[in-house]
Structure formats: C-alpha cells, structure tokens
Chain A
Amino acid sequence: GAGVSQSPSNKVTEKGKDVELRCDPISGHTALYWYRQRLGQGLEFLIYFQGNSAPDKSGLPSDRFSAERTGESVSTLTIQRTQQEDSAVYLCASKPGGLTYEQYFGPGTRLTVT
C-alpha cells in the first residue's frame, strides 16, 4: 500500500512569511509524529498525535509553530513568521495504534528560509 506522503517536497520562502506543510499518513494509522532535522543533525521531536487524545506539543520550539490533525488522517504543520533558523527538513511519521513500535517515515519537506 501507499506509504506516508508529504508535500511539498521542497519549499523556499522569504523570512517573515507563513508556511504550511502537509502530511498524509498511512491509512489506518492512528499515531502521527512530526520531527525536524537541521543540517547535519539528528531528528528532533516536534509533536505527537494519537487518535482523539490531546496532542503532545512539548517539542514545538516556539509559539510560531502549530500543527493540526483531522481525525486520523491528514496533518498540517504551520510555521508563522518564518525565520532563517527554521530552515530544515521536516519529517512526518505514522504508526498503527496499540503496542506497535515501528514508525513509518515520509520523505520529508525541505524548507529553506531566505
């Protein structure tokens, strides 16, 4: 079946603009994650959605970052008033609920803020 998809693949924006990144998880996966990967670094957790539970937003770096998820489907990550330090690859992952452990990653969105 289809894997996790993300759009756009690449995004170049000017400092101060808002951007919206989209993630389509694997159908039926109740858990969804966003991670940020800065150049030469590992992945940093941003936010976790699980079904209808309140999301874990503890990894969002500032109030310019927000994310939404519609039920158990699409998620959008919004960055307002982008800064150059927001330049990174943003990766989305999903997994089935329950005791499963493997997260399935999308190909990421490379965001460049000029």
Chain B
Amino acid sequence: AQTVTQSQPEMSVQEAETVTLSCTYDTSESDYYLFWYKQPPSRQMILVIRQEAYKQQNATENRFSVNFQKAAKSFSLKISDSQLGDAAMYFCAYRRLQGGSEKLVFGKGTKLTVNP
C-alpha cells in the first residue's frame, strides 16, 4: 500500500531564511506524481509544486523547489527567502491510480511557522 510520511510535525524559520520540509513515501509503482500542498488557516488547499517521477530534474516554482530522490523515495520541499505568508500547514501527497480510480494519499502534515 502506498503511504506518505512527514516526520516533522512542526517547523519554524526566520523570515528571509530557507527551510526544508521532509517527506518519504512508499510505492511499488515506477511512474507516479508527487505533490506539495499548502493549507493556510482558511482551510483552502493550494497546490505548491508537483513532480513527475519519470523526470529526473527537480521541479521548481519561484521560491519553492523540491529534492526528489526516487531511489530513496524521498521528496523534500525547500522554501527559500521565507515570507510571513508562507506560514501554513504543508502536506505531501502521492497520486495513486488504481483500476480506473484516482486519489491523493496525504501525509499528516508539517506546520510551518515563519518568525519575523
């Protein structure tokens, strides 16, 4: 079964500094998608970044980048030049396809605090 593990329940970072959030996953599939979602107090889930497993190049979206280590099944999120608006829950997710169905499998999340 696919599982997603986020080992850091909480993290904090100083404004303008860099922080890395960890995620590991378990799968027997060779092609899949991984995602990082941000959930602010408004509860709205916002897609931050995605990674296709067949791509060796790490995905980047402005200040957000990932370190995708396929063999190690690791998918960490790096936030550079942290801003106060980055404070939120961050969830790592795996896209599971099975028998015509599709779902996201989420980790338990990391609460990120940004200190001014």
A residues whose Cβ falls under 8 Å from a Cβ of B: 31, 33, 35, 40-45, 48, 50, 53, 56, 58-59, 89, 91, 93, 101-103, 105-108, 110
Contact = CB atoms under 8 A, between A and B. Distances in A.
A21 to B, nearest CB: 14
Contact of B43 (A45, A59, A102, A108): A108
Interface of B: 4, 6, 33, 42-47, 50, 91, 93, 95, 100-109
12 contacts: A33-B104, A42-B107, A43-B45, A43-B93, A43-B106, A45-B103, A48-B101, A50-B101, A56-B103, A103-B47, A105-B46, A108-B43
A59 B104 CA distance: 11
Contacts, number: 58
B33 A101 contact: yes
Contacts of A41: 108-109
B65 to A, nearest CB: 18
A39 to B, nearest CB: 11
Nearest to B100: A53
B88 to A, nearest CB: 14
B44 A105 contact: yes
Contacts of A40: 108-109
Given A89-B43, A105-B45, A107-B44, A48 B108 contact: no
A56 to B, nearest CB: 4
